[in-house]
A and B are shown apart, each in its own frame.
Chain A
Amino acid sequence: MMGRFPRPKRIRTRLTLYYVGMVAGVLALYFAGVSVLLFWQASNILKSLGAEDLETVKGLLYHGEDGQVNLREDYHHHSDWKQVQERLLEILSPGGAILYRNERLGDRTVGGPPFPGEGEHGYSGRRAKMSDGTPIILISRKYDLQGETILIRVGYSEDLIWNELRGTLLVLVLASPLILAGTAYAVYATVGRALAPVSKMAHRAEQINSERLSERLPVENEEGELGHLAGVFNAMLSRIEQSFEQLKRFTADASHELRTPLAAIRSIGEVALQDHAGPAEYRDAIGSMLEEVNRLTTIVESLLVLSRADSGQIDMQVSVFPLAALVRESAALLEVLIDDKQISFTLLGDESVGVQGDRLYIRQAVINVLHNAVKFTPAGGSISALIRCEGDSRVRLSISDTGPGIPSAHASRIFERFYRIDEARAAGQGGAGLGLSVAKWAVSENSGEIGVTSVPGSGAQFWILLPAVGCSASGAHSRN
């Protein structure tokens, strides 16, 4: 909406102006009401006084010798009635001919020709205009004066009323600036106090940056709207701080991970150049460097995948497929590793349960979790996979191993990027510590959850929860 005036920017100013405007409007209405009421009352009083006056006038009328209507004025010479002094008197014949006008009226007329029925049944009281335009209150009545019908009109200028009311209204009008100023001050102060937390919050928020993410907004009253707002912002800050911390750690870890093979390449190269070695040694050195390059490549590729995943650049191709077949396929891929360690692998559960998601990424997640289990299960151990419906719409795949398990301190962090329980051990195995974090990403991206429960010493159980299709039909005979 376009206003004629620019809207003030500050809520405080706006509210103050708004309230002052409202109060001014209410005051104006009030004044108008009071004026109308007082005027009405005063004109009623004037009308009843006028009626009395009419009777008095009627009693003072007489026909002069010339047949003219006359008024005995002497009666009023001592009158201190303002109304009587101010009275405008006109006597008309029913036809409208002027029979008498008092001095004050002069040659003006009070109300023009009589309207039909004026003053016939009791007193007629009305507002009227004199011939010179002066507004008056006019009271009239028909009388019989010695056999002749006459219309007596008594008028009073409305100025009489206004003079009475002027004082009262003046007091009111003079008081209104005070009322408005008081309102403005009260609103300005109250709003200022109510909004004080906002400026405090803004001030504090200005100081929050990437180095000082631990700062929080002040919460003055948790129940209040602003307190709620501050709370919501603080929760958001916590989440940002958390992901920022994660990012910082990730960057630091990534640089560390990249630095390790780089250092190896450098040392191998430098040492190889120092010696006067033969072709076989040089070949060996180059081969060793290439191995490290492969490691670097793997890390960089995984990082690219994860960063692309983080920024939501990977599209999921959703389909429905049987989970058991996927697990079997993944196990078959790793079969050679499983067999090599003489690990027994079993898969139990409902064959028909389908999963809804991107098969490729879920397969990757399952392979990574399974590979992790194979890696940590000692020779001759066992790995068992179990597929079980949870409710109508979710299926849980549990993969239990007989490895050393995961100390509880590590269980929550095992899905973090580059996180390894045993730094030295995993580094030698060539993994970048990204398998489980890739699995976690792939599962959550497909509306699933991943986790691990473990009793140290008696194996770990990884579980993956995924959206299921076909659980409602077979859920009745799923085991618990």
Chain B
Amino acid sequence: MAYSEKVIEHAENPRNVGTLDKDDPNVGTGLVGAPACGDVMRLQIKVNDQGVIEDAKFKTFGCGSAIASSSLATEWIKGKSVDDAEKIKNVDIVQELNLPPVKIHCSVLAEDAIKSAIADFRKKQEARKAK
């Protein structure tokens, strides 16, 4: 199976690889997938006071399509409001990267990673308000 040019481009030049401080109240962390399944994505967002994602980082254990999906996800959510970022669907990633059917789960995982990071961020905000 040949990879699409966009997958190769992202896998070779991944955007936003790295780690944000998971203890920062403005940072949300999503860790999805499982080593036994061959994919684990960690996606982190840093949200400013206006509710805009000002930074996003990822690390992924997985195939080229998984790396490309998470790289693209960080690229897309940066600069978006949390609410807009939440609207990103896996099919958008599938289309952009031309993922074949066997790689659709990579895009699903990337969507889950975004949602999971946002959920973590919101939980922290709720906890802070409650104090």
Q: Do chains A and B interact in one complex?
A: no
